[in-house]
């Protein structure tokens, strides 16, 4: 059981992934065979990778180094280095890959005979492969290559159903935003290189002066938060994630946006080292805005996948709040709280991977069965798709931070780290931190409202069209894929210490402070008490209590009330003709009160129009409610139109199309460079 074995495992799994990608292309025309074979290969490779990364985390072995490609060119040696942080992200990537691949075995069947399944699976596997490299690259050049490959491959997957105009537009927005982000990162890397003369991610940053570090931090924050989808640089996310096929959305929302969190931890915490309190405070600020606005926008969406995409923005906000608390505490030298908050933040990233991955798969199942993603057209699915309904309910509870699921544990840890930080005599940060508490509370309650809406309107009540009441439950592989994720959400919620133990390894790697001493209890024991005047929580006991109390209630009712007598009857209809699907509450109606309360965010407008007939008896009435997206309307659109006008104006001045002019440009550039080298 040495490091050797683990690196062989990882190497092999990468090879299997690569082989899988080629096999997918080779079998391209035989849809069914291709899909089954390439997904099986994916599952096998994922299992291997999961085992390897778990072994790394559990054994506590040293850094694992794997050289993929040796080159005499400087910086082109591609080397993977895997520490605990990389191993943890590899592990959640592999778990999600396994589940999504099982799911895809059924899900992709709707592409049979219609699309090039081989090409799709090729892109899907190489996308996963590119993320593995992002998490393991040891120098900035390799990181950049993997990052770029990840962006491009996911772009192709986003526009895979390219005949729809909206998907193309989503893809374009995505590729533009992601490259702006990459540009910021590149500038950051270059500044680092100009001081340290190295691209090594595991090197020292001592040579970089303080001002430069501040600039690099801002660049990295801009670059990574764009990829993560934090507000206000989130605008690509709600378009790109819904456009991709659902299994890819699950990967994108589940793990791809976490590469940005990985990047922030790796580059800022690991490489630069946190220097100033305001770094953390800025992160908390971005987190608060993303958490509250993300969920508020999610609540207004009626397209399941877009709702989920906005909810990803919210969860990124929660992760950033945790990370910000960690940075703030570390900048002030408080390693214990720094480690605690880092664990909270990473745990939320892990949790979000599982429940949001599951929710996107659930949205895929609904779309697969009914052909629509519009909540307003669904209803009553719990009767025709009972298994999917239960699984989506589990994920909804998990994402709303409700016991006994995993979302609660990470939010609890985030609250606890804030709680531990606040103390008299640090006025500014105290207020920011208590606002973070309020924001977390508001976001949590709004998330619950949002997922009651998602679940209640689409799965409960009456079906809103004839077609919906005749759909079939999805293929069993799809439910297995989601079922594993749901089980993990419950397991991590009831026995949280196991996963916290692994993440503690990451924190002690990075910060050098293990908080495990403060977590009492054994390997699978549920008790754990933080070092905070004996505050204990035990989700396991609450689960038992809920079970026992329910049984007691049943028993008491049986004793006092006797036999259960039930009569089926129609829902009360106030004496009218009977209710139908059009008298039901709609998703728009459900979120209306919140929309009115927060009208400053949505700027809703409504239009009622009577069409045909007489004034008093129109043939039909059209009622339209619209809300504005303030960031797009007031920030991005004006900026885009300025840029467009500018480029139109300069088009004929600079880009004349005349070859002499271009030769002059080249000449001037060479002169300038010569002058620079001579005099500077």
Partner 1 sequence: MSYIIYIIIQIFVMVLTAPLVNGIIKKAKAFSQKRTGPPVFQMYYDLYKLIQKGTVVSDVSSWIYKAAPYVVFSTALAAALLVPVSTLVTPTNSIPGDFILMVSVFALGRFFMMAAGLDTGSTFGGMGSSREAMISSLAEPSILVCLFTAGLIAGSTSLDGMMTFMQGTGTSPTHPVVVLLFLALLSIIMMETARIPVDDPSTHLELTMVHEAMLLEYSGRHLALMEYGAAIKQLVFMTLLVNLLIPHDQLIGFAGVGAVVVSLLIYLLKVILLAVLIALVEINTVKLRLFSIPNLAALSFILSFLAFLQYFLMGGGNV
Binding flag, residue 445, partner 1 (CB under 8 A):
yes
Binding flag, residue 576, partner 1 (CB under 8 A):
no
- Positions 594 through 633 that interact with partner 1 (CB under 8 A): 594, 596-597
Binding flag, residue 584, partner 1 (CB under 8 A):
yes
- Positions 333 through 392 that interact with partner 1 (CB under 8 A): 379-380, 382-383
Nearest approach, Cβ of residue 548 and partner 1 (Å): 8
Q: Given the complex with partner 1, which of 41 and 288 has the nearer CB atom?
A: 288
How far apart CA 392 and CA 389 sit, in angstroms, is: 5
Binding flag, residue 473, partner 1 (CB under 8 A):
no
Binding flag, residue 446, partner 1 (CB under 8 A):
yes
Residue 462: strand, helix, or coil: coil
* Residue 658: DSSP 8-state: -
Nearest approach, Cβ of residue 384 and partner 1 (Å): 11
Binding flag, residue 308, partner 1 (CB under 8 A):
no
Inter-residue contact 457 to 464 (CB < 8 Å): no
Contact pick of 517, 593, 613, 638 for partner 1 (by CB under 8 A) = 593
Start-end of H helices in 108-228: 117-136, 140-158, 165-196, 210-228
Task: Identify the burial level of 249 via C-beta atoms within 10 angstroms of its C-beta, where 0-12 means exposed, 13-18 middle and 19 or more buried.
Answer: buried
Binding flag, residue 19, partner 1 (CB under 8 A):
no
- The kind and range of the H/E element at 12 are helix 3-26
Interface mask (CB under 8 A) for partner 1, residues 532-561, using x and -? xxxxxxxx-xx--xx--xx--xx--x--xx
Q: Interacting stretch for partner 1, rule CB under 8 A, among 127-135, 227-235, 572-580, 623-631?
A: 572-580
Task: Give the HSE-up count for residue 389: Cα atoms under 13 Å, Cβ half-sphere.
Answer: 18
Contact pick of 1, 73, 165, 565 for partner 1 (by CB under 8 A) = 565
Contact pick of 37, 462, 491, 610 for partner 1 (by CB under 8 A) = 462
Contact pick of 521, 589, 613, 638 for partner 1 (by CB under 8 A) = 589
Binding flag, residue 524, partner 1 (CB under 8 A):
no
Nearest approach, Cβ of residue 507 and partner 1 (Å): 21
How far apart CA 63 and CA 203 sit, in angstroms, is: 13
Integer angstrom CA distances of residue 308 from 238, 247, 304, 360, 441: 8, 13, 6, 7, 19
- Positions 393 through 412 that interact with partner 1 (CB under 8 A): 396-397, 400-403, 408, 411-412
Beta bridge mates, 224: none
How far apart CA 257 and CA 437 sit, in angstroms, is: 24
Nearest approach, Cβ of residue 245 and partner 1 (Å): 29
Q: Given the complex with partner 1, which of 36 and 437 has the nearer CB atom?
A: 437
Binding flag, residue 522, partner 1 (CB under 8 A):
no
Binding flag, residue 571, partner 1 (CB under 8 A):
yes
Handedness of CA 177, 179, 183, 185 (dihedral sign): positive
Q: Is 458 left (phi over 0), alpha (psi -120 to 50) or beta?
A: alpha
What six digits make up the tokens of 583?
């008298």
CA angle at 452 for the pair 536 and 489, rounded to the nearest 5°: 45
Single out the residue of 468, 370, 368 nearest to residue 112, CA to CA.
Answer: 368
Q: Interacting stretch for partner 1, rule CB under 8 A, among 66-74, 173-181, 573-581, 660-668?
A: 573-581
Q: Given the complex with partner 1, which of 15 and 532 has the nearer CB atom?
A: 532
- Positions 124 through 163 that interact with partner 1 (CB under 8 A): none
Dihedral angle of Cα 399, 467, 103, 229, to the nearest 10 degrees: -40
Contact pick of 3, 36, 180, 422 for partner 1 (by CB under 8 A) = 422
Binding flag, residue 585, partner 1 (CB under 8 A):
yes
How far apart CA 585 and CA 177 sit, in angstroms, is: 38
Nearest approach, Cβ of residue 498 and partner 1 (Å): 18
Q: Interacting stretch for partner 1, rule CB under 8 A, among 106-114, 195-203, 223-231, 435-443?
A: 435-443
How far apart CA 674 and CA 666 sit, in angstroms, is: 12
Q: Interacting stretch for partner 1, rule CB under 8 A, among 4-12, 101-109, 228-236, 454-462?
A: 454-462
CA 658 distance to own-chain centroid: 48
Interface mask (CB under 8 A) for partner 1, residues 478-517, using x and -? ----------------------------------------
Integer angstrom CA distances of residue 175 from 47, 129, 144, 402, 608: 31, 19, 15, 36, 38
Q: Given the complex with partner 1, which of 536 and 675 has the nearer CB atom?
A: 536
* Residue 254: DSSP 8-state: I
Nearest approach, Cβ of residue 365 and partner 1 (Å): 17
What six digits make up the tokens of 254?
């589940």
Q: Is 573 left (phi over 0), alpha (psi -120 to 50) or beta?
A: alpha
Cis peptide before 484, with omega less than 30 degrees from 0? no
Q: Given the complex with partner 1, which of 435 and 637 has the nearer CB atom?
A: 435
Binding flag, residue 439, partner 1 (CB under 8 A):
yes
Binding flag, residue 456, partner 1 (CB under 8 A):
yes
Contact pick of 40, 529, 627, 629 for partner 1 (by CB under 8 A) = 529
Contact pick of 466, 522, 567, 619 for partner 1 (by CB under 8 A) = 567
């Amino acid at each position: 059981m040495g490091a050797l074995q683990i690196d062989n495992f990882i190497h092999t799994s990468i090879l299997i992934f690569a082989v899988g990608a080629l096999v997918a292309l080779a079998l391209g025309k035989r849809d069914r065979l291709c899909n089954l074979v390439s997904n099986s290969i994916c599952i096998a490779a994922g299992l291997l990778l999961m085992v390897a990364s778990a072994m790394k985390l559990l054994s506590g072995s040293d850094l694992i180094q794997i050289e993929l490609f040796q080159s005499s060119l400087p910086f082109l040696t591609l080397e993977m280095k895997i520490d605990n942080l990389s191993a943890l992200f590899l592990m959640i990537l592999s778990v999600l890959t396994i589940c999504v691949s099982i799911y895809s075995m059924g899900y992709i069947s709707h592409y049979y005979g219609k699309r090039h399944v081989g090409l799709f699976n090729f892109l899907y596997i190489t996308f996963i492969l590119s993320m593995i490299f992002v998490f393991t690259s040891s120098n900035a050049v390799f990181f950049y290559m993997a990052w770029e490959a990840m962006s491009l491959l996911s772009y192709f997957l986003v526009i895979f159903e390219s005949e729809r105009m909206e998907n193309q537009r989503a893809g374009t927005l995505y590729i533009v935003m992601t490259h702006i982000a990459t540009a910021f990162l590149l500038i950051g890397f270059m500044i680092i290189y100009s001081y340290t003369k190295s691209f090594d991610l595991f090197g020292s940053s001592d040579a970089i002066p303080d001002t430069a570090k501040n600039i690099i931090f801002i660049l990295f924050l801009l670059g990574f938060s764009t990829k993560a989808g934090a507000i206000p640089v989130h605008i690509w996310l709600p378009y790109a994630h819904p456009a991709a096929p659902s299994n890819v959305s699950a990967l994108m929302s589940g793990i791809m946006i976490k590469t940005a969190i990985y990047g922030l931890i790796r580059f800022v915490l690991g490489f630069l080292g946190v220097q100033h309190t305001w770094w953390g405070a800025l992160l908390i600020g971005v987190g608060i805005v993303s958490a509250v606005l993300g969920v508020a926008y999610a609540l207004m969406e009626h397209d399941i996948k877009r709702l989920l995409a906005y909810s990803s923005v919210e969860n990124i906000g929660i992760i950033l709040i945790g990370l910000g608390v960690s940075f703030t505490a570390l900048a002030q030298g408080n390693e214990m709280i720094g480690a605690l908050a880092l664990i909270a933040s990473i745990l939320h990233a892990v949790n979000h991977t599982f429940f949001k991955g599951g929710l996107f798969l659930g949205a895929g199942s609904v779309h697969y069965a009914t052909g629509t993603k519009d909540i307003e057209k669904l209803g009553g699915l719990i009767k025709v798709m009972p298994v999917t309904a239960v699984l989506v309910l589990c994920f909804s509870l998990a994402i709303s931070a409700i016991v006994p699921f995993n979302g609660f544990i990470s939010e609890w840890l985030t609250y606890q780290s804030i709680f531990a930080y606040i103390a008299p005599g640090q006025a500014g940060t105290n207020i920011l931190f208590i606002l973070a508490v309020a924001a977390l509370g508001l976001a949590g309650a709004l998330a619950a409202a949002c997922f009651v809406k998602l679940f209640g309107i689409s799965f409960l009540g009456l079906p809103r069209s004839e077609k919906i009441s005749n759909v079939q439950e999805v293929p069993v592989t799809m439910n297995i894929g989601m079922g594993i994720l749901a089980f993990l959400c419950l397991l991590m919620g009831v026995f949280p210490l196991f996963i916290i133990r692994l993440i503690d390894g990451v924190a002690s790697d990075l910060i050098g402070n293990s908080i495990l001493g403060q977590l009492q209890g054994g390997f699978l024991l549920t008790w754990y008490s933080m070092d905070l005047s004996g505050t204990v929580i035990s989700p396991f006991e609450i689960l038992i209590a809920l079970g026992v109390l329910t049984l007691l209630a049943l028993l008491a009712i049986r004793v006092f009330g006797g036999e259960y007598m039930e009569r089926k009857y129609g829902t009360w209809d106030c004496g009218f003709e009977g209710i139908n699907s059009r008298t039901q509450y709609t998703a728009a109606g459900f979120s209306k009160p919140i929309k009115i309360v927060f009208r400053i965010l949505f700027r809703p407008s409504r239009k009622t129009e009577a069409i045909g007939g007489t004034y008093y008896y129109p043939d039909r009435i059209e009622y339209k409610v619209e809300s504005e997206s303030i960031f797009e309307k007031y920030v991005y659109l004006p900026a885009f139109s300025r840029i467009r006008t500018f480029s139109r104006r300069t088009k004929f001045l600079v880009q004349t199309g005349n070859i002499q002019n271009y030769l002059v440009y080249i000449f001037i550039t060479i002169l300038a460079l010569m002058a620079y080298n001579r005099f500077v």
